[in-house]
Amino acid sequence: MKRLGIDIGSLTLNAVLISESGIAERASFEHAGRIESAVHALLQRPEFSSFDTAGATGSLAGTGKGIIDNTLATIEGARHLLPGCRNVIAMGGQGFSLILLDDNGLQAQFAGANGGYVATRSTSNNCNIIFGHA
C-alpha cells in the first residue's frame, strides 16, 4: 500500500510517499500562496501519480474531510518511521514545536515562534536539545 502525505505550510508544500518498506519518495515546493497549483504540480510527477490513500495537514490546509491534525500527523509519522521515538522537534516557516511522547502518545507539546521558547520549556522538563543536522 502506498500512502501520500501532504503538508501545506505557510511557505512550502511538502509531500512524502510511504510504502510498506518506508519512504519511497519526497518532494518540497514553495507555493507562494498558489497552493492548488503546487498540489497539481506534485501530482503531475510520475512518482506521485499513483497511491492508495492520501491525507493533508498543515497551517493552510483548512478544514474538512481528509484533513489531519498537524500534531497527530507528526506523532504518527515519527512513530512509524522511528519506532521508540520519544521526542520530536517540528520546524516550519513560522515556528517550532517540541513534542514529548510517552508510551501512549503525546505527553506534552511546547510551541513558539522562535527556538528560544522551545529551548527554555524543554530545559525545564529535563529534555536537552542538540541543534544540528543528520
Q: Please, what are the domains in the chain?
A: 3-68 (3.30.420.300), 84-124 (no CATH)
What confidence tier does 128 reach under pLDDT thresholds 50, 70, 90? low
Q: What is the pLDDT of residue 25?
A: 92
State residue 46's pLDDT score. Answer: 94
- pLDDT score recorded for residue 124: 60
Q: What is the pLDDT of residue 47?
A: 92
Point out the least confidently predicted range of 68-72, 102-106, 113-117, 128-132: 128-132
Comparing CA positions, the residue from 26, 18, 23 lying closest to residue 2 is: 18
Burial of 8 (0-12, 13-18, 19+ CB in 10 A): buried
Q: Convert 45-72 to b/e letters by CB count within 10 Å (16 or more is b).
A: eeebeebeeeebbbeebeeeeeebebbe
CB-based contact 90:97 (threshold 8 Å): yes
Separation between Cα atoms, residue 114 and residue 125, nearest integer Å: 18
Instruction: Give the three-class secondary structure for 25.
Output: strand
From the list 84, 88, 68, 89, the residue with the least C-alpha distance to 16 is 68
Q: What is the per-residue pLDDT for 134?
A: 38
* Across 12-27, average pLDDT: 89
8-24 average pLDDT score: 86
Task: Tell which wins on pLDDT, 10 or 44.
Answer: 44
**What would the pLDDT profile of 75-125 be if each residue is shown by its tens digit?**
777 777 778 877 777 776 666 777 777 776 666 666 655 555 555 555 665
Contact of 111 with 97, CB cutoff 8 Å: yes
Instruction: Report the C-alpha gap between 107 and 93 in whole angstroms.
Output: 24
CA distance 110 to 122: 8
Write down the mean pLDDT value for the chain. Answer: 74
Answer with the residue of higher pLDDT: 109 or 130: 109
**CB burial class (10 A; 0-12, 13-18, 19+) of residue 132?**
exposed
Please state whether the predicted TM-score (pTM) of the whole model is above 0.85: no
